[in-house]
Chain A
Amino acid sequence: MKALNNLKAKSYIVSTLFGLATTGKHFVQNLLGIGDRPTIQYPEERRAYSNRFMGVHVLTRKADGDIACTACMLCATNCPADCIHIVAAESPKPTVEKYPAVYEIDMMRCVFCGYCEDACPVDAVRMGRDYEYAELSERNFVVGIEYLADRPQLKGKNISVFREPKKLVTQKLRKAS
């Protein structure tokens, strides 16, 4: 009876060993890279996101290097979070009429819904793929054209796919100043 009790008391060893076996299995699997693993070696390794993932916005540029945005403010109109601020101005280029002198997105307000991308008639604003976004001050989350169009992560791959309809470009007449 005593021996039986003793054995009973020590039965945990078996389950412990089973448990250890599971741990060991995963240890070995992870060590050798066998089987299905949810853990990744961030930041060396990165998860593949869906093509539809909506990260930090990108402002595109036209083939000639100008900002593609025409400052029509449809994105700002559509924005449910009211986080886009645009100041339109007369472009110095003779063939461009209007351009955004200021284009700011308040990332702290943005809900990454992508409505701005949908609203844009000229493929000027896109939802980008970047998701690592940290700053030390709230103020820094209001980002302008330099960040949205020229951040190093983009590697210059932000050329607008909108092609202007084929036509001779009509030039603006300006006051001789």
Chain B
Amino acid sequence: MMRETQHHRNMRPMAVDLSPAPGEKRILLEHLGVQGIRRISVYESKGGYNALKKILEKKLSPDQVIEAVKGSGIRGRGGAGFPTGLKWNFVPKDQSKPHYLLCNADESEPGTFKDRVILEHLPHMMIEGMIIGAYAVQAKKSYVYIRGEYTYATKIVEEAIKEAYRAGYLGKNILGSGFDHDMFVHRGAGAYICGEETGLISSLEGKKGWPKLKPPFPAVEGYLKCPTVVNNVETLAAVPWIINNGDKAYSGIGTEKSTGTKLWSVSGDVVRQGVFEVECGASFQTLLEDCCRGMKDGRKLKAVIPGGSSAPILTAAEAMDMTLDYESIASKGSMLGSGGMIILDETRDLVQVLKNLSEFYHDESCGQCTPCREGTGWLMKILHSFTEKQARPIDLELLKTTSNNMIGRTICVLADSIAMPVLSYIEKFPEEFDRYLSESSGQSSLSEKLQAKELL
């Protein structure tokens, strides 16, 4: 039943308030809310496809485009935060093999829904960014890999691509420049792991969505063993603005190392949830108080998960102290990630939250690497024993050792995505776990107690 309602919800546009909130700095979402902006005519009237025209008419070389993106300092908005210009630069310049550009629209991280806004409302911005990106890496084909559940968004993107073909922005000899490009939409089948760069490539190749060993990196050997660039929707959507306004304009926004703006999808116990575009380096209070209008029902903030469920949790004090950029959040021991911020108030039970998360990651582990395949299940089972009040004192230590042995031991970072939160929850909220432990029946046998002594 649940799935069905979820499915129907996905058939409809996302029901969030899209009007600008105080404290926002809208660059990408500038035209959000303009009537019919998802149609190419309206988009063009707002200056759409000017960036593409500028490149192709001024005959900027691909290298010049890459330099511009490099100069803007934009970093990948999907989670890893790798400089986009650098990534494009890694693609070999020779054309012995076809190059590909993939747009990662498989947004499945719990708490993240920022790409959905772009896909549903500003598809042409993403498409324009993709064409520019494809031109920069000289890719003849690009794919939009959309999360399977985003049925509504898929329709919109497909329609937008058709419009772009009709308008001559896609297809053969784009705007008379001699550059050919084709764009396709590929729907995922509902696996979180296919949002991982190489997992996405495997899935697109028609295989099981298993991440691939690195090296070789996708920029050298990716889709169909050809040089491939995989970029997030938000990253690509920012490219037209950078071309239009110049790299200096973009790097002028934000901090020195985190330039530009970032979309934050805020959920949880705040008055106004939704997607907000905030300048990098803005304070957390701006987002919480101005954009989200503070905590719901005036309750106290307990914890913040800043960058999607896989980011380590932050205490209220740490959150209040941070600014919204890569460095500041990293200095607090977490990460900006995808910008899916989850706000938890004082009524939230963090052990339950963690159990819930562990269930998700257990379900979504692809099963390729042993530490992740077995570890996610084990963590889930131990956390279950906490919530069912059957935990042993040694279980807390066991959670830590298990997590420590999962981090960095696998092909992709899905294992880290649950192991790091587990460690941070235990480190920052030990009292929550202790409460469960003291409530546990403590029926651990003598041998278990001895074992615990040996361990602790």
A–B contact at 8 Å CB threshold (below): no
Residues of B within 8 A of A (CB): none
Residues of A within 8 A of B (CB): none
